[in-house]
Chain A
């Protein structure tokens, strides 16, 4: 590995508060995720459920999709017991509570990641982008040293170098940053494949099918000027900010632009879990911007 690459991935070891925030935030979202499954888990996955293992297996066989689903492995396919499924959620909630408070071992963080991955893999046909961001976020975060995440920031202090965080923590933050910016950039790129993101109706199209919403702005966005400007702003932010966030001169603007983008998309689409997780993951960039050493 070249020096510059090594420096990029492993050398930024002087800040941990952003990752601490990401860890606490993702733990709260993980609790939200498990709780949101509580009422329906038996209706979906129990032996007599709509997506019981036998039913899913029969469907995949009939549709000739078995090879696609083979690797979507989860121990939850092995049980249809309602009690076991609910116990799984309870354990997941406990792991999510324990993770931010653990400083001696990575085990709770790794287990929490696996717990989310397994439930996501079991949720064939009903999973969405919220599982995607939660799984990679918790996975990368499990690489970080839990000891480092309990430390106070070294930036701006006269702390000795020996207190700098480990390379695993620096690596974890870089993985989170690269993956998050890649996800948003590719979201912008894939948006360009649909006509609605060119003709200005994209924002209405996102908002239109949502029946129950936390904040209702449907009336406001029926105004053509508003929804067209909003659509163009959404696309520009999604395409430009994930690149701009890597440059010192534009980092602050891109960071806050992306937070606003998450808020706008959450209000429009009502995908609060997904976009809250994304906004939390964006906090991994906070280090090199509010406390820039460059």
Chain B
């Protein structure tokens, strides 16, 4: 009986920890990680709530450019939108495959936003090796019913340039994300603009 109480308490702790775990919660989960992880009983950080309207839930696209300085959107080509174009996401069990790709791209976008491009580069590199003519990749978020004009015009969370040197593998350099900027405003002594 004690095992059952412990078992279901740990599962409840694991499921709720994806929202905002306390340090006590994390310590307990760390202690029982062998039990929960080996059996895949924990949610591995996957939130159960379906949506909290965070950017990571949006549809992510990975696009490639063969030009070093792509100027317009036409210079970018989305990968995996059709079977004839690499076929990353269509085909058999398309929905489930697409969901895996979305989780992967969302992680990369998040790393890019946190300026941890070197981490994201670990996973972009095999794609860069396979596509020898590509000079840049970018991950963008698609507009949808819940996004605002500001969201839709935000710079891509992750853009990376590929430096190719003879005899060596490609080197990936993340482009610095554009910051929101506003013109300088004058504040008078009364504190109002």
Contacts and interface: CB of A to CB of B under 8 A. Distances in A.
B173 interface: no
Interface in A157-200: 178-179, 182-183, 186-187, 189-191, 193-197
A206 interface: yes
A256 interface: no
A24 interface: no
Given A5-B1, A40-B97, A205 B146 contact: yes
A224 B5 CA distance: 43
A95 interface: no
Contacts of B100: 40, 44, 123, 126, 128
A50 B86 CA distance: 15
B59 A211 contact: yes
Contact of A35 (B41, B57, B87, B93): B93
B126 A50 contact: yes
Interface in B15-48: 15-16, 18-20, 33-34, 36-41, 43-44, 46-48
Q: Classify chain B's interface size.
A: 35 or more
Interface residues of A, number: 80
Nearest to A65: B119
A218 B100 CA distance: 23
Contact of A208 (B11, B36, B145): B145
The secondary structure that dominates the A interface is helix
Interface string A115-130: 0110011011111111
Interface in B44-78: 44, 46-53, 57-59
B40 A273 contact: no
Contacts of B144: 208-209
Contacts, number: 182
B53 A73 contact: no
A128 B37 contact: no
Interface string A56-70: 001100110000101
A271 interface: yes
A101 interface: no
A209 B19 contact: no
Contacts of B4: 9
A125 B103 contact: yes
B146 A201 contact: yes
Contact of B40 (A120, A126, A189, A190): A120
Contacts of A59: 119, 122-123
Given A48-B129, A132-B40, A182-B15, 10 more contacts: A36-B92, A128-B100, A187-B48, A187-B49, A189-B16, A190-B16, A190-B49, A193-B52, A197-B49, A205-B53
5 contacts: A1-B1, A33-B96, A117-B39, A132-B46, A204-B146
